[in-house]
Amino acid sequence: MDIVGLGADRWLSAVGARDLYAMMRHQQARQLLVAENGPMAWSGPVGSSMPTTWRRHPGLARAYEAARNAVDAVALTVGRPGAAAADSADPVSLRRWLGSALTLLGLAGEEPWPARPTMPRRPVPMTSWTGATYYGFRKPSGARGDRGGHADARDRMDSATRREFLPEVSVRAYRRAVRAVLHLQQRTEVLAAERDREASVAFGKARLAYLLAEEDFVACPATAAFTAYYVARLNMRTEFTSGRQARPMDTLAEQLLAAALTASTCRPWVLASVLTRWSVLDRLNDEQCGRLMGLYYEQLAASARALRRVYDVRRDPTHMIVRAGDDSSTWNSATRAFNQARTGWLNLMRGLGYDDVIEASCPGKVPALVAADVAAWHRREGRDQHADVQVWADLPLPWDVVLGDDSCPAELVRQACQRHGIDPETTGWTQPYRQGLTELPAPARDLVHGVTVSSPLLARVLRQIGVFSGQAQRR
């Protein structure tokens, strides 16, 4: 969205308008300058912000169709009604359908064995019959059945039981249905994990703005200008530094927020979807506050499930540094979403007067995994890991608290913070986190693997040949 085209300069002070136009001229000059330099036209920043799209699971249309046809054939033969149709892209709907299908086929509704991975993360060197070396994917290892793969060897009905409960159903039709249903059950668990990962990525990028209807977003130009600018600030990439990262709220965003709150067409619901300040929450009615509270907790639960799946129980919680084999991308995107959803939920609970709920259940923060080179940089400067890591290690796992498998009262958090010399109120452990410093607006830097570059065109060429990746250069 072009906030200059919306007329944002009308709502800004002279300093704010100057900063806005300075960033606009900087962006236009970079694009025009590089576009005139021949065939390698460059139309935007190399790495100043996150990608505008992310991987999304398309659903299980083919697997569901195969399972539904096989189960309907069995149900038709025995004269029973088939299960209600399910949405192949929704794991909750698929699980509901699977419950009916498993009951019909006489299978237990227990959690399925994990699906066998079909390929490793990276290609490995292989030798061809001529002796030449090439890179390819290994064939999947591991047995089928009870140790992975399509687990069709679970306790099926024997022939006598099948003839009693499913008369006139052939062995082939029954086993076909069993294989299709169990395969779909495994795939549904993968789909559920992907939906949680997608929710974490989307919330980390845009808070709840990705759930807004377009008509609500564009109803108030001032609200749309702040929301677009603030989400763009949220999407700025992290820099490779031993210091602090840039915060999303700057002086220009503060002015846009003030203009949105004073506009006659203000949409507080849109503002609260990205920013849960009490000045915004005061403008919502009780129904909107309750709905927003539920949405933030659902995002918190989705991030909690993603963290639970990727967490290694053998990890030392006081050593949050990336190791070989860690899925740091999933972990860090989930921690980002979890901590931001936690802040929004705490803001809502404190702002609405539900302090007793927080006192009874106050899940802790989750630290991100730090790259080993950044951790070494910290040690070289005489610093250790962030003090929050020690507090998180002393508390119950936050995702267990959110999902109801453990308890963590606020008093327990205060005691852990006191042991490590941390103020739980000002550091966001028992109170919502507050950005202590308002940034000055500045054009987003061009980054490659977190490193600022002066020439985006040269950086693009170097990145294409693998200079920045730390791996062997591609030919």
The answer to whether residues 157 and 32 belong to one domain is no
Is it the case that residue 376 has pLDDT exceeding 70?
yes
Residue 283 domain flag: no
How much is the average pLDDT of 1-5? Answer: 68
The answer to whether residues 19 and 66 belong to one domain is no
Residue 456 and residue 469: Cα distance in Å, rounded? 16
Computed on alpha carbons and rounded to an integer, the radius of gyration of the chain in Å comes to 27
Contact 337/204 with Cβ under 8 angstroms?
Answer: yes
Q: How much is the pLDDT for 42? A: 42
Half-sphere exposure for 428 (CA within 13 Å, toward CB): 19
Give Cβ neighbours of residue 9 (< 8 Å, ≥ 6 apart): 17, 20, 21
The answer to whether residues 108 and 155 belong to one domain is yes
Residue 351 domain flag: yes
Q: Which domain holds residue 106?
A: 50-112+150-206
pLDDT tens digits for range 129-141: 778 887 776 665 5
Q: How much is the pLDDT for 360? A: 96
Q: How much is the pLDDT for 205? A: 87
Strands 133-136 and 451-452: unpaired
Is it the case that residue 142 has pLDDT exceeding 60?
no
- pTM score of the predicted model: 0.80
- Residue where one domain finishes, among candidates 206, 234, 252: 206
The answer to whether residues 454 and 424 belong to one domain is no
Residue 456 domain flag: yes
Indicate the average pLDDT of the chain.
Answer: 83
Residue 266 domain flag: no
| Residue 173 pLDDT class (50, 70, 90 cuts) | very high
The answer to whether residues 188 and 58 belong to one domain is yes
Residue 16 domain flag: yes
- Residue where one domain finishes, among candidates 206, 225, 250: 206
Residue 3 and residue 150: Cα distance in Å, rounded? 52
Residue type, 401: V
Residue 87 domain flag: yes
The answer to whether residues 17 and 63 belong to one domain is no
Range name among 22-26, 374-378, 394-398, 399-403 with the lowest pLDDT average: 22-26
Residue 254 domain flag: no
Contact 455/34 with Cβ under 8 angstroms?
Answer: no
| Residue 445 pLDDT class (50, 70, 90 cuts) | low
Tokens 């503002």 correspond to 271
Q: Which residue has the higher pLDDT, 72 or 155?
A: 72
Q: What count of other Cβ atoms lies within 10 Å of the Cβ of residue 356?
A: 9
The answer to whether residues 378 and 329 belong to one domain is yes
Residue 344 and residue 292: Cα distance in Å, rounded? 9
Run of H or E including 351: helix 328-351
Range name among 56-70, 153-167, 273-287 with the lowest pLDDT average: 153-167
The answer to whether residues 432 and 450 belong to one domain is no
Q: How much is the pLDDT for 297? A: 95
Contact 348/300 with Cβ under 8 angstroms?
Answer: no
End-to-end CA distance of the chain: 39
The answer to whether residues 54 and 193 belong to one domain is yes
The answer to whether residues 403 and 465 belong to one domain is no
Domain count, the chain: 4
Give Cβ neighbours of residue 67 (< 8 Å, ≥ 6 apart): 101, 177, 180, 181, 183, 184
Instruction: Tell me how long the chain is.
Output: 475
The answer to whether residues 188 and 63 belong to one domain is yes
pLDDT tens digits for range 331-366: 999 999 999 999 999 999 998 889 999 999 999 999
Residue 445 and residue 49: Cα distance in Å, rounded? 9
Residue 343 domain flag: yes
Q: How much is the pLDDT for 377? A: 80
pLDDT tens digits for range 146-162: 444 444 555 688 889 99
- E strands along 185-242, which residues? none
- Rounded to 10°, the helix 387-394/410-419 angle is 130
Residue 454 and residue 445: Cα distance in Å, rounded? 9
H helix runs in 361-448, sequence order: 372-380, 387-394, 398-402, 410-419
Q: Which residue has the higher pLDDT, 425 or 236?
A: 425
The answer to whether residues 26 and 58 belong to one domain is no
Give Cβ neighbours of residue 465 (< 8 Å, ≥ 6 apart): 473, 474
Residue type, 75: A
